[in-house]
Amino acid sequence: MPAACCTIESPVGPLTITAADGAITGIDFGLGGGPRPNGVLLAEAAHQLTEYFAGTLREFTLPLAPTGTAFRLKVWAAMQAIPYGQTRSYGDLARALDSAPRAVGGACGANPIPLVIPCHRVVGAGGTLGGFSGGAGCDTKRQLLALERALPPQLPV
């Protein structure tokens, strides 16, 4: 089955959701796709993202099929285990995966399904923001962490 996509508006700008073979394969910031969700899966993804931004959804229940190396898949799985409203540092994930913080950061930056795989919940050492490759970069990360009330104290909105 060929990939299908749709674009929805969100508080962090347009989001393009891509699905193939019954699973979400990507979420991109600011790209254009089909104007409306076409099909049950894209409609459900759009609905869950809308509920997330409304503050009423804390855990996504979408089938996912991210494409990446074995290491990146492990990092993305570890990110999915970070609860809503909490953060972990790159170092925390690196220790859990017997890796290095820089490698974890690289996997975060390559995350094909941001928000649902919550790379925004990974912060730098000592609660510093770290980086973010989606939307408006660190401003978008701050906005997402503020939505979840997960901003470390030294990172005001």
Active-site amino acid positions: 119
- The span from the CA of 127 to the CA of 60, in Å, is 25
Tokens 């991109």, residue located: 28
Q: Which of 44, 56, 60, 33 is nearest to 115 (CA)?
A: 60
Report the distance separating Cα 58 and Cα 129, nearest Å: 21
**What are the beta bridge partners of residue 24?**
19, 64
Q: Do 9 and 16 contact (CB within 8 A), yes or no?
A: no
